[in-house]
Amino acid sequence: MARRYVDEDGSVLPRAAAGLRAARVESARIHGVDPDRVASILREVDEHGYVILHDLIDADRIERIREESRPHLRFEGRNEFEGHRTRRIYSVIEKTFACNPLVEHPLVLALLDQILMPNYLLSQLQVIDVLPGEVRQPLHHDDAFYPLARPRKPVGAAVIWALDDFTAENGATLVYPGSHRFGDVPATDLDTGQLIPAVMPAGSALFFIGTLWHCAGANHSEAPRLAATTQYCEPWARQQENYSLSISRERARQCSDRVQSMLGYSMLFPFIGFVDGRDPKRLLRD
């Protein structure tokens, strides 16, 4: 029998809303995370726009990412946003699977489940090496390129994973607390005196929503500052990196179901993301 997506009255939304509520209630348990911890982190995110989470990844994971990133950290940025003294890896999953556990870290997923709709997508995964002498990155918020007036709910959320200790001197990400609530203001009107460095030891992560103003800090130290970033967006929004094209099916097949889904092998039922009228996950199975 054909699956029905639309109610008698032709309405899809009530069903979607019920599904969303159910997914949110169950989420923390599914990810093995304490729901009270999730609630308390979300209160902090709601108030400040960001939170620093400690001890999320261990030294072995950091070492593996460092080792497997090294051969690919070859090019310095082409503009002030990428950073002329910053090296980035794009299409990371095509080059290494070392960052996959970050993409689907249980605590991060438990938070995202409360912020975004089910089947949210990976929008960006980068390794970012800020070299000595780099200047402060231009201030921005990550969902700025979606042409939607602010203040509003975020279209996405991001994590910056400290693979080196982040210090005020070596270019720790600078955040503007509370700026997630700002209306439409140009970056030039913002008071940079309000920026706070996300100082944290390696293995920690800065979690923030797409409406928060932030940037990478200047690196005044003698050593590079290595980080990875995982950024996520609503399943109805376009991903920044076009993962359907940049990650081969062969590599996608080797990822977990969840990462596959976040790369784009998933749908926002009933009508967004299908391939030939069907769930794109079939492409990995056939």
Ligand X SMILES: O=C(O)CCC(=O)C(=O)O
Contacting positions for ligand X (CB under 6 A): 128, 160, 173, 214-216, 227
Q: Closest distance between ligand X and the C-beta of residue 195, in Å?
A: 12
Looking at the Cβ atoms of 160 and 252, the one nearer to ligand X is: 160
Min dist. Cβ of residue 278 to ligand X (A): 34
Q: How far is the CB of 173 from ligand X (least distance, A)?
A: 3
Could you tell me which residues come within 8 angstroms of residue 184 by beta carbon, excluding any fewer than 6 positions away? 149, 150
Give 159 or 252: the residue with its C-beta nearer to ligand X. Answer: 159
> Is the CB of residue 124 less than 8 Å from the CB of residue 143?
no
Nearer to ligand X, 215 or 267 (CB): 215
Nearer to ligand X, 166 or 269 (CB): 166
Rounded CA separation 136/252 (Å): 35
Q: How far is the CB of 145 from ligand X (least distance, A)?
A: 11
Q: Which region, left, alpha or beta, applies to residue 74 given φ > 0 means left and ψ of -120 to 50 means alpha?
A: alpha
For residue 173, how many other CB atoms are within 10 A of its CB? 28
Q: How far is the CB of 69 from ligand X (least distance, A)?
A: 14
Judged by phi (left if over 0) then psi (alpha if -120 to 50, else beta), residue 49 lies in left
The token duo for 231 is 């950024």
Indicate the residue among 24 and 136 with the shorter CB distance to ligand X: 136
Sequence-separated (6 or more) residues with CB below 8 Å from residue 70:
none
Decide if 116 contacts 156 (C-beta within 8 A): yes
CB of 58 to ligand X, least distance (A): 21
The two structure tokens encoding residue 196: 């706070």
CB of 161 to ligand X, least distance (A): 10
What one-letter code names the amino acid at 79?
N
The tokens describing 122, both together, are 């990976």
- C-alpha pair distances (Å), 250 with each of 37, 94, 255: 37, 9, 9
Q: Which CB, 89 or 215, lies closer to ligand X?
A: 215
With respect to ligand X, which residue has the nearer C-beta, 161 or 269?
161
Q: What gap in Å lies between CA 186 and CA 237, rounded to an integer?
A: 23
